[in-house]
Homo-oligomer: A and B are copies of this chain.
C-alpha cells in the first residue's frame, strides 16, 4: 500500500518522496491539519498523524519541526514559522544582543501512522546563533552555525546528510525496511 506524505507544502513532499527513493511507494496528500500547540514536536507530530489518519485512512507520514534558542527559554520552539514571518532572524539577533549563550537547536519529529497506531521518530541538530552568513537554505539557516559553518554555507546534499529532518526520515526508512 502507498504511504501518504501529508503536508500542505509540495516542496517538502517532493523532498521526502525523493529521500525514500523508488523502493518505496509514496504519494503527496494535501489536507488541512490543525496545528496543535505543544512544547514537544513529538507530541505535535503524533496528534497531527492521528488527525490525518482519521481522514486519509491509510499509512501516512507527517512531520513537525521546532527551532529552540537556549537563552530564550526555547523560543521560538514550535512557532518557528510564525516567528520567522513576524520578527524574523533580525528579531532573534536583537533578542540575543549582549547575551553570551548562543546555543540553539533544530528538532524534527516524523510520525508514521497506520491502523495499528503511531510511531514517532526524531532528529536533532545543535549549533549556535551567529550573524547571517551564506546564501543557501532558507528560514533560520543563515544564522544557525554548526561545525563552523551556517546551514546557508553548505550544499543541499550536505544539509540533507546532517539535518534534523533527514535524521528522522532515515530512522523511519530503516524502521520500515526492518518490517518488510
A: which residues have CB within 8 A of B? Answer: 34-39, 47, 72-77, 79, 82-83, 85-87, 91, 94-95, 97
Contacts and interface: CB of A to CB of B under 8 A. Distances in A.
Contacts of A79: 37, 79, 82
B85 A73 contact: yes
How many identical chains are in the complex?
A: 2
Nearest to A90: B95
Given A94-B95, A95-B91, A95-B94, A47 B75 contact: no
A87 B73 CA distance: 7
6 contacts: A34-B47, A74-B86, A75-B82, A75-B83, A91-B95, A94-B94
A65 B119 CA distance: 33
